[in-house]
Structure formats: C-alpha cells, structure tokens
Amino acid sequence: MTEPIRVVLTRARGGNDELAERLRASGLSVAECPLIRIEALEGPPVSVSGYDWLVLTSRIAAQLLFARLDGRLPPIAVIGPGTAEAVREHGVEPALVARRSTQEGLLEGLPRPAGRVLFAGAEDARPLLATELGADVLPLYRTVPDEVPEFPDSDLVVLASASAARALATLGIGAPCVTIGPVTSAQARAGGLAVVEEAETHDVDGLTAAVKLVASRIASSRS
C-alpha cells in the first residue's frame, strides 16, 4: 500500500485549519508545525478620521485594527480575499480588493494620488506601500520565530509567509516547498530552500491547488 504524501503546514497557530481540512479531504497526511507566532502590539484606540484610504494586508491586521478602531472608516483597500473576508466579518465591504494579492497589486488598484493613506499591518512589513503612497504606518503586530522542538517528517512543506520561509531556512530542512506567492518564494530561495510550486492565487484556494499538484507529482514518481 502506498504511503500517503506527508505535508507540513507552518503558519502561526490557528492559521492552518481550513487548509489542513481541505488537504486531508484529498487524502494527504497533514501535520502542523507553526514556525512563527504572532505578537499583538498593544496601544490606544486607533483614529482613522481624516484618511482617504485605510490599507490592510493581512487577516490578522484586520482583526487587530477593528479591535482598536475609533472614528468613521474611510474606504478600505485589502491585499486579497482572506483579508477581505476578515473585513466583511465586521460588517464592512472593502472598497478595493487587489487583483494580485501583493503590495504591488494594491498599488495597481489604488487611485493616484491616493490622498492621505493609513497602512496598518505587521511591524516588519515590506515598506513598498508606505514609500510609494507616502502613507502613515501603524504597526499592529510582529511575527517572531516559534520554538520547534522537532520538525515532522515531510515530503512537502507549505510556506504562507516570508517570515515562515526565514524560520524554515534556519532549521536546515531539505524538503521541497510550496509557497503562497512571489515574496515568500523569493525569501525561501534566498534562504537556500527548494521552491517547487507557487500558488497561482495567494490564498487557501491557491495553496490547496498547488499542494495537490505537487503531491500528484510525488505520487507519480513513486509508482
């Protein structure tokens, strides 16, 4: 009997549930090994009055921003469907969802000049949006490496962020990797990791399709 393909998911705790469920339903063996954890940055209520745009680039940023929100919301621009869903959970429809789930994709969709912009996200977020738009930056959280007592045996590792790629590179794991997008791929390759597939859409749907594609290649090579 052929052994199931072993896939390791590396998002922070609580972030792997939907992807894990889909992959297990496809017959894959899934283990979760969070390589990073999220540390929320405490602070006073966030006033968004006077801004022409609020830019959010992750589901976590949306959740933390709404927990501290003060004042009437300006139009919200988000980086992809996952972030858009997190905003909708608070009864707000994003004015702009990037067609490409990258900071570059958001820049393509925003009007120019964009006016006064607030970029709320990770402390270590890429500075592209802030620089190009002259945006005010509000750090809401940071990502830090999580402790990994033992990395699971794996045929394939899924990387959903550049920070996870950096963390994996420090462990010396040689398994092939599927990434969520070009920024994560670039970081993975810079760390000497083998990227065998990149999700076409930078979300759970894209990751699911990419993992299943690589898993089918691995299964074929075993037969």
Give the tens place of pLDDT for each residue, 196-217.
999 998 888 999 999 999 999 9
Residue whose C-alpha is closest to residue 60's, from 27, 83, 42, 30: 83
- The hierarchical CATH code for the domain 6-35+147-222 is 3.40.50.10090
What single letter denotes the amino acid at residue 103? Q
Q: Which amino acid is at 69?
A: L
Enter the pTM of the model: 0.85
Counting residues of the chain whose pLDDT is more than 90, the rounded percentage is 78
pLDDT of 223: 73
Cis? peptide before 113, omega within 30° of 0:
yes
* pLDDT tens track for 129-154: 999 999 999 999 999 999 998 999 99
pLDDT score of 166:
94
Distances, alpha carbon 110 to alpha carbons 8, 79, 129, 160, in Å: 36, 11, 11, 25
C-alpha 90/C-alpha 191 separation (Å) is: 38
CATH 3.40.50.10090 domain residues, the chain: 6-35+147-222, 39-143
- pLDDT for the residue 29: 96
Q: Which CATH number fits domain 39-143: 3.40.50.10090, 3.40.5.10, 3.40.50.150, 3.40.50.300?
A: 3.40.50.10090
- What integer is the mean pLDDT of 165-178? 93
What's the pLDDT tens digit per position in 5-61?
999 999 998 888 999 999 999 999 999 999 999 999 999 999 999 999 999 999 899
